[in-house]
Structure 1
Amino acid sequence: MLEYLLKLYKKPRLIIIDLFLVNLAVFSSFILRFDESWLLHFEFNYLVAITIISLFVLYFSSLYNKMWQYASMSELYSIFKATLAINTLFVIYLYFFRVSFPRSIIAINLMTDIFFLGGMRFALRLLKDFLNRNQNNKSKNRVLIIGAGDAAEMIIREMQKHPEIGKRIIGLVDDDPAKQALEIHGYKVLGKTKKIPQLIEEYDVDEVIIAIPSAEGKTIKRFYELSNKKNVKVEIVPGVYEILKGDVSLNQIREVKVEDLLRRDQVDLISSEISAYLEAKTILVSGGGGSIGSEICRQIAKFNPEQIIILDINENTTYFLERDLKENYPNLELISIIGSIRDKNKLEKVFNEYSPDVVFHAAAHKHVPLMETSPEEAVKNNILGTRNLSQTAADFEIDRFVLISTDKAVNPTNVMGASKRAAEMIIQTINKQVKTKFMAVRFGNVLGSQGSVIPLFKKQIAKGGPLTVTHKDITRYFMTIPEASQLVIQAGALGKGGEVFVLDMGEPVKIMELAEDLIALSGLTPYEDIDIDVIGLRPGEKLYEELLCDTEDNIATEHERIFINNLGAVNQQFLAKHLQRLESLAKKGTVNEIILALVDLVDTYQPRRDNVKKVDFKNNKKSS
């Protein structure tokens, strides 16, 4: 039926129909003004004039370029302009030809024109919505929406436009008392979120959509637990980090992920400060193809840099990042360079050719157990590589240098953490000697990064388990990759030189609970469908991570989520001596000798004794 009506909605036919409606509007105006005596005041030559004027106006109007099954306020505005033009020209005709005409009819006629012309067109929109609603009501998939805000409104509107997806909205829930019993596009707020289990049972709900992009992780977890019933699919609108333009579309709705259960508040950036040091500048990101480095590149791209230089040893990740950036930022000038921070000559060549203004140093070996067995690689990459890159940056007098560090640098018990603390010491020391502002940013684990615990758990679930947790009480700090990257960029704007920033990581998360949540999100029951095994701490692994040493204090900055560690000064000669020793040992030293040298350099480093044999760290000598 709708398709048949649309075929009739062609310009010649519509003009004829509109001319009839304009004439009908004139008749109606006289009847409304004079009731039964309207014929005493009416002359048929009025119709001749209004028809000619209307034909001219309607032919050259934009009314016939609209798809009226999608009519909205913009189309109503077009109708108003057309009817105003018709009535204005009609008044001019009456004035110049001195035609006797009741003045009060003009205003009435304007309204009746809008009513008839608009009514015919909006009737098609109403018919479309009615047919869609009927088709929607016949579908099998019954949907309950959590949240009655902007995101929910967008979802409802999209579902009304696309009945072919086969979803029937039964209503909404929201904890706001002011929204109870109100409606959005005809769908009612059925109660507060505590009624979710009852509504699922009462309406035989097939699907629940959490439509609150700003909700915290603990809130999402509560919604999920209320909605996670047998045969009920729980989905979510992505968080503010994932929605680039603030709009929600149906293809963005996805199943709840464990990252959602840990979601935290949106990062509010001080954009003016960031733009001041990134806009129209050349930015180099070492390790740009990695999890953090690639997201830093994406975030930087939003601030209109002149160039982004991706420096990474991994050609595959660099290639895919390059494609992604070019697709989303077609005007961005992008330079991809395959190379290592260990190669001082390559770094000097890159700096000489491209003259970067800012460096974000994200290149590092980060896997704790692997660095325990290959400490020389941590020394070459994390320590000596940082020295190479920072010295090159200082030689070329760049503006800022931001090192990506880790919470494992605090009271380290592993080689990786000790190597990152040594990298921080390099930054602190070189900052005192040059114009470049050097700084470091510490944070904990990032969700979904390469080699993190969540991808490992997912693979174990896919194989049927068990999930392996190193200790039942082990905890870690987590933040999302976009959140960490945004705060790193903000810290780069705040730094005056020499700071080691620490990010607000929120509350630590128990890995055991994380494993249980991930099993539940996979539609399985922990300890019934899939077991969780405790396998013991890995070499160099801590039970609890820290963000501050006992001797450190937090100093607040103008950003509420970023603090400065009040670290002690590093002696330049002491550092140079130990770096020279480490460089020599990285070429030919044993694991024991390298770890001993790291203990000498990083006084808070306390390696686990079962990892290094026959070394008395207290007296700094080999034991018998």
Structure 2
Amino acid sequence: MAITLGFDTAAAAVSMAVALVTRWLMTGGAPPDSFFGGIVTTAIFAGVGFVSFYMLGVHKQVWRHSGWRDAVRIVQAVGLATLFFLPLVFLWNRLVGVPRTAIVIAVIIWLTIIFSGRMVALWRSTQRPLQIFFSRARPDAPMVLLIAQSEEAARIDSLMGKDEKGAKVRILGLLEPEGAEFGRKIRGIPVLGGLEDLSKVLDLLTLRYEKTPLVAVAGIARERHYMTQVLEVAASRKTEVMSLGAAADQTSASMLPVRAADLLRRRERELDVEPVADMIEGMRVFVTGGGGTIGSELARQCASMNPQSLTLFDSSEYNLYEADLSLREQFPNLPINSELGDVRDVARVTRAIEQFEPDIIIHAAALKHVPLMEQNVCEAILTNVGGALITAKAAQTSSVQKFVFVSTDKAVHPDNVMGATKRLAELTVTRQAVSSNFSVSMVRFGNVLGSSGSVVPLFERQIAKGGPVTLTHPEVTRYFMTVEEASALVLQSATHNGSPGSASLYVLDMGEPVRIKALAEAMIRLKGLVPGQDIEIRTTGLRPGEKMHEKLTYNHEEVNVIGIEGIYKVASKQVVANDFDEKLDELLDHARHRRRDEAIKMLAELVPEYRPRRAAE
């Protein structure tokens, strides 16, 4: 702040000195005794500049975040300094030796120096120096208290959508989650404190404007531990929480309601997409389960990396249609093949792989809903185990170079059929890799936010109906990850393993497990409601096959870093039985003939950690 005030004061002195000399030269020379008078005049001008800039808080501005509010305040400060200057110089020597036009010239030079300094700093920061003069809020814009770091706040303010009436959001103040600098101004927005001041600041703003402003979060403020605090305070004040963010092209920003995914957001990883792009570009990619939540996102990310062709294979006509439509809209020049088929159908899978000759197969097809799979054991075995086996065998007869298998954390110490079948699929695909010409990459991760049938859309429906929100147990925890991050890390892991005939297992860094009750409470607060008062939370008891807590690895597995953030390689010491293949065939035969009890018994033999009747831990 002292440097800023010193610069502006020095600019005032230089401006007046240059103005006096310029004016004297224009009139044929300086009058007698003008040197001393010029020094005094310059000192007075600099002094009133110092006082007026300090009084109006111009020195609190952060140059690289300058905006229209700062420009207005600078003009006001220069005007105030001029009003102070005239009577003071008149009292000193009745303006003798001070040309009137010199004052005008000094003001013009002073403003030029001040704005030039800000615009250079702004240009170095954003490459958009003229934005200092724009983005004024329109009169009917909603009032917002922004929670973000200063850099993000400046970027959002500069990008906020505006029309002929001005910007569509009026930001009243800024709270910084980390390292708040109270009293500073970011593009004219005052820093009112840190996140711990939210309650107090909301009350003060409500008093001042006779209305509680919206609370908007941006950048790191959308992370889980910050969002929990924000929602608790906002719900108690019955105000909405919004999310402010820049568009993908970084040319605009918008304010949207906070989604459930924002409640579980972690600090975003900086992923190196170049190795993935090198792996995908020019390749023929084949995605089973391509219409599902994970499969369609994997397909979308692959499509963005210029493959030679992309084939979606799915048994759901509706899901396949939706994924196909979305991809064709986003990538109109990409050859896309959408094939309706079941991974349990040997002939259909083999024919599709022979027809499209993929270089990379991503096997995301699976039945995943735990309670349903407890009731449909044979279907889970045929799809999750049989489908993986059929796809891997079909890949052996083609030109496939990489086989990516999407697994789950429920494969670890499984208490349910779904987890046991996915664990058996891991072992099955690993055995198939040995006799193949492709490399296998298997990836385990937890729950994907917003996927079909997951807890988040269930809670949203229950809250919309006015409750109750149902929990199986108040202490249940789960790992969560956005579908975008999970898919990106799955593709990243595939770049690490490249040896033909080998199989590697990876786990994703899922962060800290989330208490489902805490998630339910946060989602209720998201609607401006109070858990337990406005919406009842009801405990229903653990369902068949459900565990209290999930794990990502077995005790006998060793976890190693591989140099890619968020991904770990798992080394297993487990050895499968010599008669594994025979028992696997027997299991699939039981499943095909719907011999449920025999199938469960054989599944437990093939996956020793699976205990069908074991109580949830």
Farther-moved stretch of structure 1 (597-606 vs 157-166): 157-166
Match of 1:44 in 2: none
Match of 1:35 in 2: 26
Unaligned runs of at least 5 residues, structure 1: 1-27, 39-69, 72-107, 123-127, 612-624
Q: Give the 3 Å change call, closer, same or farther, for CA 231–415 of structure 1 in structure 2.
A: closer
Q: C-alpha distance in 2, partners of 1:214/1:593?
A: 53
Whether the 8 Å CA contact 1:429–1:570 is kept in 2: the answer is no
Q: Give the 3 Å change call, closer, same or farther, for CA 170–280 of structure 1 in structure 2.
A: same
Cα distance, 1:259 vs structure 2? 1.9
Match of 2:42 in 1: none
Q: Of the candidates 287, 291, 294, which is equivalent to residue 292 of structure 1?
A: 294
Q: Secondary structure at the match of 1:323?
A: helix
Q: C-alpha distance in 2, partners of 1:358/1:458?
A: 37
One-letter amino acid matched to 1:426: T
1:435-487 CA-partner distances (Å, limit 9, x unpaired): 11012111111111111011111111122211111112111111111111111
1:143 is aligned to 2:148: no
One-letter amino acid matched to 2:253: S
1:517-559 CA-partner distances (Å, limit 9, x unpaired): 1111122211112211211111111111111122222122121
Match of 2:57 in 1: none
What are the within-5 Å matches in structure 2 for residues 29-108 of structure 1? Answer: 34-36=25-27
Q: C-alpha distance in 2, partners of 1:322/1:192?
A: 46
Farther-moved stretch of structure 1 (182-191 vs 502-511): 182-191
Match of 2:158 in 1: 157
Match of 2:518 in 1: 513
Q: Of the candidates 239, 244, 263, which is equivalent to residue 237 of structure 1?
A: 244
Whether the 8 Å CA contact 1:447–1:479 is kept in 2: the answer is yes
Cα distance, 1:32 vs structure 2? 5.9
Match of 1:472 in 2: 474
Q: Give the 3 Å change call, closer, same or farther, for CA 232–574 of structure 1 in structure 2.
A: same
Cα distance, 1:31 vs structure 2? 7.9
Match of 1:355 in 2: 357
1:3-51 CA-partner distances (Å, limit 9, x unpaired): xxxxxxxxxxxxxxxxxxxxxxxxx9x986941359xxxxxxxxxxxxx
Q: Secondary structure at the match of 2:145?
A: strand
Q: C-alpha distance in 2, partners of 1:553/1:129?
A: 55
Match of 1:535 in 2: 540
Match of 1:546 in 2: 551
Match of 2:323 in 1: 321
Q: Secondary structure at the match of 1:533?
A: strand
Match of 1:499 in 2: 504
1:332-372 CA-partner distances (Å, limit 9, x unpaired): 22211111111222222222221111111000000111111
Q: Secondary structure at the match of 1:237?
A: strand
Q: Give the 3 Å change call, closer, same or farther, for CA 225–434 of structure 1 in structure 2.
A: same
Match of 1:434 in 2: 436
TM (norm. structure 2) is 0.74
Cα distance, 1:306 vs structure 2? 1.4
Q: Secondary structure at the match of 2:200?
A: helix
Q: Secondary structure at the match of 2:557?
A: coil
Match of 1:408 in 2: 410
What are the within-5 Å matches in structure 2 for residues 90-239 of structure 1? Answer: 133=136, 136=138, 138-139=139-140, 141-159=142-160, 161-162=162-163, 163=165, 167-175=169-177, 177=179, 179-204=181-206, 205-212=212-219, 215-238=222-245
Q: C-alpha distance in 1, partners of 2:355/2:593?
A: 34
Q: C-alpha distance in 2, partners of 1:529/1:461?
A: 10
Aligned length: 500
Match of 1:262 in 2: 264
Q: Give the 3 Å change call, closer, same or farther, for CA 132–267 of structure 1 in structure 2.
A: closer
Q: C-alpha distance in 2, partners of 1:230/1:489?
A: 43
Q: C-alpha distance in 1, partners of 2:440/2:609?
A: 22
Whether the 8 Å CA contact 1:237–1:248 is kept in 2: the answer is no
Unaligned runs of at least 5 residues, structure 2: 1-18, 30-66, 69-104, 120-130, 207-211
Cα distance, 1:243 vs structure 2? 5.3
Q: C-alpha distance in 2, partners of 1:292/1:219?
A: 27
Match of 1:23 in 2: none
Q: C-alpha distance in 1, partners of 2:483/2:161?
A: 34
Q: Of the candidates 376, 396, 421, which is equivalent to residue 394 of structure 1?
A: 396
Q: Of the candidates 601, 608, 615, which is equivalent to residue 596 of structure 1?
A: 601
What are the within-5 Å matches in structure 2 for residues 562-581 of structure 1? Answer: 562-568=567-573, 570-571=575-576, 573-581=578-586
Whether the 8 Å CA contact 1:469–1:534 is kept in 2: the answer is yes
Cα distance, 1:567 vs structure 2? 1.9
Q: C-alpha distance in 2, partners of 1:202/1:310?
A: 55
Q: Secondary structure at the match of 2:579?
A: helix
Q: C-alpha distance in 2, partners of 1:214/1:201?
A: 20
Q: C-alpha distance in 2, partners of 1:178/1:517?
A: 25
Q: Of the candidates 240, 249, 252, which is equivalent to residue 253 of structure 2?
A: 249
Q: C-alpha distance in 2, partners of 1:389/1:607?
A: 27
1:30-77 CA-partner distances (Å, limit 9, x unpaired): 986941359xxxxxxxxxxxxxxxxxxxxxxxxxxxxxxx99xxxxxx
Q: C-alpha distance in 2, partners of 1:428/1:459?
A: 40
One-letter amino acid matched to 1:234: V
Cα distance, 1:294 vs structure 2? 0.9
Whether the 8 Å CA contact 1:267–1:487 is kept in 2: the answer is no
Match of 2:72 in 1: none
Match of 1:366 in 2: 368
Q: Give the 3 Å change call, closer, same or farther, for CA 570–357 of structure 1 in structure 2.
A: farther
Cα distance, 1:572 vs structure 2? 7.6
Cα distance, 1:327 vs structure 2? 2.2
One-letter amino acid matched to 2:156: I
One-letter amino acid matched to 2:248: L
Q: Secondary structure at the match of 1:225?
A: helix
Q: C-alpha distance in 1, partners of 2:589/2:458?
A: 36
Q: Secondary structure at the match of 1:311?
A: strand
One-letter amino acid matched to 2:147: I
Whether the 8 Å CA contact 2:368–2:418 is kept in 1: the answer is yes
One-letter amino acid matched to 1:206: P
Q: Secondary structure at the match of 1:440?
A: strand
1:74-117 CA-partner distances (Å, limit 9, x unpaired): xxxxxxxxxxxxxxxxxxxxxxxxxxxxxxxxxx9xx99xx9xx
Match of 2:530 in 1: 525
Cα distance, 1:174 vs structure 2? 1.9
One-letter amino acid matched to 1:342: R
Q: Of the candidates 303, 306, 329, which is equivalent to residue 308 of structure 2?
A: 306
Q: C-alpha distance in 1, partners of 2:433/2:577?
A: 11
Farther-moved stretch of structure 1 (166-175 vs 289-298): 166-175
Cα distance, 1:583 vs structure 2? 2.0
Whether the 8 Å CA contact 1:311–1:339 is kept in 2: the answer is yes
Q: Secondary structure at the match of 1:598?
A: helix
Q: Give the 3 Å change call, closer, same or farther, for CA 554–530 of structure 1 in structure 2.
A: same
Farther-moved stretch of structure 1 (363-372 vs 511-520): 511-520
Cα distance, 1:187 vs structure 2? 2.3
1:424 is aligned to 2:429: no
Farther-moved stretch of structure 1 (595-604 vs 555-564): 555-564
Q: Give the 3 Å change call, closer, same or farther, for CA 574–351 of structure 1 in structure 2.
A: same
Whether the 8 Å CA contact 2:238–2:528 is kept in 1: the answer is no
One-letter amino acid matched to 2:569: I
Whether the 8 Å CA contact 2:241–2:526 is kept in 1: the answer is no
Q: Give the 3 Å change call, closer, same or farther, for CA 285–255 of structure 1 in structure 2.
A: same
Farther-moved stretch of structure 1 (500-509 vs 568-577): 568-577
